Structure 1
Amino acid sequence: MITINKMSNSILMLVSVVFMVLSGCSSTEKLEDTVTKRVVASDFVLEVTTPTVIGTGETMKVKGTLEYTGIKPVEVTHGKPIIRFFFSGSEEERSYADVGYYTEFKTGQVIEVEDEFMVSKKGKKNLYVDMTADIELTMDPIEILVK
């Protein structure tokens, strides 16, 4: 009975190790194709998450978050959406409202903006992130390889 338990434990351990190795490889591979860039200015933090490698004909999904880290509430005038994305690897055009919105930010408040682009041009392209607010935040373009 003792040898059967030892053998069962050994098999179970081997299966667990193989599963962990296979799981680790696939998730690590996926993370290399995605990047999160962060810019901090005054009491705001802007983070953008985007793939860095994508194929022509695929849909590229991007996400931006704007967090207020200040202590006192602050009112911000902006367009809609407050975070805008432009991708040089797509022929899609966007139409936005440039003025007329305001948000009162309180400590820890987060605004999320998601967008997607149909990828149509091969090569090294750029994702540009723009803020339409009276907040001084500038993010360098993010390079994306389109295969």
Structure 2
Amino acid sequence: MSNNILMLVLVISTIFVGCSPKEKNKDTITERVVASDFVLEVTTPTVISTGEALKVKGTLKYTGIKPVEITHGKPIIRFFFSGSDEERNYTDVGYVTEFKSGQVVEVKDEFRVTKKGKQNLFVDVTGDISLNMNPIEILVK
């Protein structure tokens, strides 16, 4: 009897796992760039519709061993999207952050999508960190 109950529990749990919602958006990517003692990752949708909000996230991780002070603007990770008419007012200088080993800084931003076609998301890291990421192509329907 206990084997039958165990088998029933396994079958039901398999059905629920098989029917659970899959990844919300298959058209989301994470691009990664490594330079010196820093790793920059940017997560963004690659397909979006006009009028929607493009939500992007960037993380900057320090992988060095010794603490290091970085002079930068705010935010330290900046996004520019060619498919939007929105302007950003960033502070270019005046901030100093001491990064310790394993420290992560996360920046989120969003843009109201206004232009159709192939658009580009540009990512920049301000200050003393030299990271170059190629533009990420986003298709706006």
Please give the TM-score of this superposition, normalised by the length of structure 1. 0.86
Q: 1:19 aligns with which of 9, 16, 19?
A: 16
Aligned length: 140
1:65 and 2:59 matched: yes
**Corresponding residue number in structure 2 for 1:96:** 90
Q: Secondary structure at the match of 1:16?
A: helix
1:1-147 matches, cutoff 5 A: 6=4, 10=8, 13-23=10-20, 26-28=21-23, 30-147=24-141
Percent sequence identity over aligned pairs: 69
What is the alpha-carbon distance in structure 1 between the residues aligned to residue 98 and residue 79 of structure 2?
A: 23
Letter in 2 for 1:18: I
Q: Deviations over 1:79-117 (max 9, x none)?
A: 110000001111101011111111111111111111011
What is the alpha-carbon distance in structure 2 between the residues aligned to residue 97 and residue 129 of structure 1?
A: 16
Instruction: Note the residue ranges of structure 1 that are not aligned, 5 or more in a row.
Output: none
What is the alpha-carbon distance in structure 1 between the residues aligned to residue 47 and residue 130 of structure 2?
A: 29
Which has the larger Rg? Answer: 1
Q: Secondary structure at the match of 2:83?
A: coil
Deviation of residue 9 (structure 1)? 5.0
Please give the TM-score of this superposition, normalised by the length of structure 2. 0.89
Deviation of residue 134 (structure 1)? 1.2
Instruction: Note the residue ranges of structure 2 that are not aligned, 5 or more in a row.
Output: none
Q: Which is richer in helix?
A: 1
Deviation of residue 32 (structure 1)? 1.8
What is the alpha-carbon distance in structure 1 between the residues aligned to residue 72 and residue 101 of structure 2?
A: 18
Q: Deviations over 1:4-44 (max 9, x none)?
A: x949955x555433332222xx424x352111111110100
Deviation of residue 121 (structure 1)? 1.0
What is the alpha-carbon distance in structure 2 between the residues aligned to residue 81 and residue 143 of structure 1?
A: 22
**Gap change, CA 1:98 and 1:20, over 3 Å in 2:** same
